[in-house]
Chain A
Amino acid sequence: MAGRRGAERDSVSGVGIGLQLKVSRGDFTLECTLRLPAAGVTAVLGPSGSGKTTLLRVVAGLEYERDVFVSIGSTVWQEGRHFVPPHRRSVGMVFQEPSLFDHLTVRGNIEYGLKRVRKERRQVAFEQVVELAGVADLLRRKPQTLSGGERQRVAIARALAVSPRLLLMDEPLAAVDEPRRQELVPMIAAVQKALRIPVIYVTHATSEAAQLADHLVLLNRGRVVASGSINEMIGRLDLPLAQDRDAAAVVEARVCGYDPRYHLTELEFSGGRIMLVRQRLPAGESVRLRIAARDVSIALERPNASSILNVFPASVEALDEQEPGQVMVRLRAGQAAILARISRKSADQLQLVPGSSVFVQVKSMALVV
């Protein structure tokens, strides 16, 4: 495999996860060359039929295709004729439908993979995954008696129990109803943080990607539209990401204080201080805050009598009229990118142009673990 493909291959192997594939599927060809970080969550975002599931299956070794290169760290899982079968790849996979083994109890399901990993290779203990996934009460039950959300928790615990080097998740929350989804997203984030296993998370839901991802890959009709860290990507107004109704900025912050009288946790980020009404968090802990564009308003002067606690200075970087009358503004506060969705009339009245110094008011934000 000399020439161009070889050179591309060299550029993606080595550290992290290297992928290069060309797979024909029905009416499009999935073709991409990617280097993904060896840590954290990489979200692969795209509409249905964009090839994201195929991508995941190729990484897992479930699709045997010829023109594929997959490597993780210095281990090559597939290259030319060399093909490591799925049961020898150190991957854990969570499918869209939980697909639990009906003939086994929850405990049996979780232990299925665990048993097949040699003791010396086990990085994760049974009790650990059970606790992280919150399935301790379900161990004796049979899958048929569980709800959709519970089943998916078990599926996640089961995949983690094999101590994988890489966790693959194929739209795991698609078959789960909305309230359960709200519970499961933080759970997945917590699991990833606790076990430090890199995750490739495939989804078509922008909000899930924004909440979980450290790195984002946008896929459309088999091609990589864009790839980069979450901070770079959300600020890009040219991407469909910014068009989403739930478009939000993700800001890294550190806990620096707590006001017990008002139950306010104080956080510090590169653009200033933020206060959040919530229970106490350990001082010094790093968190991510999700600030939806619709919750941000802009003022030319710092408002002095307002119910909004979080106000900080920022400068306008870019504006994009998304729909007639509606404008998405990207602002920079310190090093953080903040998105604000305002009416065009306001943008004109405030005379906002790139470079304008303004004050940003954030009405509410969500804490992502």
Chain B
Amino acid sequence: MPSAADFEALVLTLRLALTTTVVLLVLGTPVAWWLAQTRWRFKFLLEAVIALPLVLPPTVLGFYLLMALGPQGPLGRLMNAIGGPSLAFSFTGLVIGSVIYSLPFVVQPLHNAFVALGRRPLEVAATLRASPWDRFFTVVVPMARPAFFTAVVLAFAHTIGEFGVVLMIGGNIPGETKVVSIAVYEHVEALEYAQAHWLSAGLLVFSLVLLAAVYAWNRRCAVMYP
């Protein structure tokens, strides 16, 4: 039987995935939009930086995050200066890590969709009296709906599956940073296979049901997970 601690880990994981997804949508959409519109000749550099989490081992990412979030690092010191809580080994720190880790999974599909859309629908909307924000929400977003779905699904799923980064910057604190992937790892190390099963199977079933629901709802979406 799964323990209360395991349920806590499950709830925490879902909270992390949800928070990360929302933050990524809010941050990633303008970035993807800017990338699609700009003609800056050094655009490729930004694209490369955004794609880094696809290539780097999560432990490398985790290591640098630890350095940055820790009390000696730039972000850590900033938080200290404004009197905020410590970032390392905290839920907030995890969110920051997850956002960076899943960034390309949100920015890339959106960027591709915005580029594919082209300028014409926006120009048409402009001649139909739509202001820039209006154009974005009533034309770009509906027309790029499949890409938004892809971005949401990938961000959510990818965060649930996070392990390496969390291992480095999480600290395994129950209720704060002990997500399911870490809890399963811990159970296996302690030879508690039954608990490991409960957690793993539970997460598997949940994810499957969620994804099936999302795909069923967005029948037009064709997601190829790299």
A residues engaging B (CB < 8 A)? 60-62, 85-88, 91-93, 95, 97, 99, 101-103, 112-113, 116-117, 158-159, 162
Contacts and interface: CB of A to CB of B under 8 A. Distances in A.
A95 B121 CA distance: 11
A61 B143 CA distance: 24
A87 B124 contact: no
B128 interface: yes
A266 to B, nearest CB: 43
Given A101-B139, A101-B143, A62 B129 contact: no
A60 B126 CA distance: 9
B134 to A, nearest CB: 8
A95 B120 contact: yes
Given A99-B121, A102-B143, A103-B142, A93 B129 contact: no
Interface residues of B, number: 19
B130 interface: yes
Interface in B106-133: 120-121, 123-132
Contacts of A159: 127-128
B124 A162 contact: no
B129 A116 contact: yes
Nearest to A90: B129
A102 B117 CA distance: 11
Nearest to A111: B128
Given A95-B120, A99-B120, A99-B124, A162 B142 contact: no
Given A86-B126, A87-B127, A162-B129, 19 more contacts: A61-B126, A62-B123, A86-B127, A87-B130, A87-B131, A87-B132, A87-B134, A91-B127, A97-B120, A99-B121, A99-B124, A101-B124, A101-B139, A101-B143, A103-B143, A112-B125, A112-B128, A116-B129, A158-B128
Nearest to B123: A62
A93 B129 CA distance: 11
B127 A93 contact: yes
B129 A113 contact: yes
Interface string B17-47: 0000000000000000000000000000000
Q: Which 3 pairs, one residue from A and one from B, show the smallest C-beta to C-beta distance?
A: A113-B128, A116-B129, A86-B126
19 contacts: A60-B127, A61-B126, A62-B126, A86-B126, A87-B126, A87-B127, A87-B131, A91-B127, A92-B127, A93-B127, A95-B120, A99-B120, A99-B124, A102-B143, A103-B145, A112-B128, A116-B129, A116-B134, A159-B127
Given A101-B139, A103-B143, A116 B121 contact: no
Contacts of B124: 93, 95, 99, 101
A95 B128 CA distance: 12
Nearest to A158: B128
A103 B113 CA distance: 15
Interface string B160-176: 00000000000000000
B176 to A, nearest CB: 42
